[in-house]
Amino acid sequence: MAHSTPQAPFFPEASAIPTSWLYEAFRRANEREHRAGPLIKLHVGEPAFGPPESVGRALAEAVLDGRTRYIDVQGLMELREAISEKLDTVNGIDAPADRLFVTPGSCQGLSALLRTLAEPGAEILMPQIHWPVHLQQALLAGLRPVFYGLDDTLAPDVESVRAASGPNTRILLLNSPSNPTGALLSRETQTRLHELASERGWQIVSDEAYEDFVYASEHVSIASLERGLDPSRRLVNSVFTFSKGLAMTGYRLGYVAVARPKVCDAMRMVQESSIIAPSAPIQYAGISALHARESIAGNHAFVRANRDLMLPALTEAGLLPALPGGGWYAMADISSSGMTGEQFAAELLHKEGVAVVPGGGFSACPEFGADGTLRPLRPGGVADGLVRIAFCADRDQLAAGIERIVALVQRKQKEAR
């Protein structure tokens, strides 16, 4: 009697979540560059500047000195103490070293944090236009995403957050300055959201990767509202990175300040079961970086000048309602071209040699079957007629790229008449 060949296992949750559209844009740009030569790269947040020279020396010295052994799951104590001081003086957050986690990039820190806070059937509130990796992380943690609306500046609308919440809401995700919109959360809005979360018993996850790039006001860390509050009553878990202000993108180094001791205990287990701890030499480089924070002012000035000098061409062409208040990105509305963001980005890449990211990947909304199974995730939604432009790039490249974006939109408008 013939036996059927056993089927390979199928993992429906992970299989239904594609690689992010950021990665897809990165892959397509690399293929285009390999095939046809150099292009203008406005698709990825890779700045035109690099980390302080002392950072590389500190990394090399740690390796050569043999400081490469296992360290605590939460990270090197000397680094955590330096981070604690930075949070206190820069962010107004009183986070002792024993409630800090050093992570291999803020991305892994966010993933570990969401896994720590997840529970069966729990929902997470996320912005309607969001970083695709946040969505991936939420789904992989077993959380059900629910999306809240944005105001006319693309910042979270408090009443929409209230309306989107329900009995299963457990986490409110905030990202200010926002990736991809550059929107900022004011102190007043953060206070109202914190009051709502406290009233409903939610935890808050605050992604502050772009804290050093705020142009329209000042950066406000929502955890600063809890300064002096008993740790057992705190709600805010804050996530930071060395990648942006200190330009350490490839070093992969970040940190998380958790709200409560019980959250700390759970996250320690998550970290132990997954990474043990980040690379020791990288953490020594992090100590050096925190001692060289004076470089951040120049990096901020460079990106702000890019925004102020180059992005007005987009506003004058009607593709951008206002300059972004913070961050490294602008979401240009190219819908007047008659194309979707996906179509526009493809033509821009292949005919004009400019790489941007289609907006549909920033507003994808997952669907679930009657049994709760995640259906294959597709791009689309409210950002489908937008493209994301990284304005942290080389200034001449940025100017040329924006010129070609505007020209392509105008050419398509003429063709449609």
- Give residue 9's pLDDT: 46
Under the banding of pLDDT at 50, 70 and 90, the label for residue 375 is confident
- Give residue 20's pLDDT: 79
- Give residue 4's pLDDT: 53
Cα–Cα distances in Å, from 137 out to 36, 270, 322, 412, 413? 35, 14, 30, 37, 38
- Give residue 10's pLDDT: 47
The whole-chain average pLDDT of the chain stands at 94
Under the banding of pLDDT at 50, 70 and 90, the label for residue 26 is confident
Query: Mean pLDDT, to the nearest integer, of 207-224?
Result: 97
Query: Mean pLDDT, to the nearest integer, of 109-136?
Result: 97
- Give residue 170's pLDDT: 98
Query: Mean pLDDT, to the nearest integer, of 86-95?
Result: 98
Under the banding of pLDDT at 50, 70 and 90, the label for residue 164 is very high
Under the banding of pLDDT at 50, 70 and 90, the label for residue 36 is confident
Under the banding of pLDDT at 50, 70 and 90, the label for residue 203 is very high
Query: Mean pLDDT, to the nearest integer, of 316-330?
Result: 97
Handedness of CA 260, 290, 303, 380 (dihedral sign): negative
Where does residue 384 fall: left (phi above 0), alpha (psi -120 to 50 degrees), or beta otherwise?
Answer: alpha
Query: Mean pLDDT, to the nearest integer, of 197-222?
Result: 97
Q: Closest Cα to residue 217, out of 175, 183, 194?
A: 183
- Give residue 33's pLDDT: 85
Q: Dump strand ranges (E) for 141-249.
A: 144-148, 169-175, 203-207, 236-241
Does the pTM of the predicted model rise above 0.85?
Answer: yes
- Give residue 8's pLDDT: 45
pLDDT tens track for 255-277 = 999 999 999 999 999 999 999 98
Under the banding of pLDDT at 50, 70 and 90, the label for residue 12 is low
| Cβ-proximal residues to 342 (8 Å cutoff; 6+ apart), any chain | 358, 360, 379, 384
Query: Mean pLDDT, to the nearest integer, of 15-33?
Result: 83
Residue 172 tokens read as 């409110």
The radius of gyration of the chain's CA atoms, rounded to the nearest angstrom, is 22
Q: Is the pLDDT of residue 148 over 50?
A: yes
Q: Is the pLDDT of residue 228 over 70?
A: yes
Query: Mean pLDDT, to the nearest integer, of 95-102?
Result: 98
Q: Is the pLDDT of residue 119 over 60?
A: yes
Kindly state the percentage of the chain with pLDDT values over 90: 86
Using alpha carbons only, what angle is made at residue 16 by residues 166 and 176, rounded to the nearest 5 degrees? Answer: 50
Q: Is the pLDDT of residue 187 over 50?
A: yes
Q: Is the pLDDT of residue 62 over 50?
A: yes
DSSP of 62-83, one letter per residue? HHHTT--S---TT--HHHHHHH
Q: Is the pLDDT of residue 15 over 80?
A: no
Residue 57 tokens read as 């020396």
Query: Mean pLDDT, to the nearest integer, of 180-208?
Result: 97
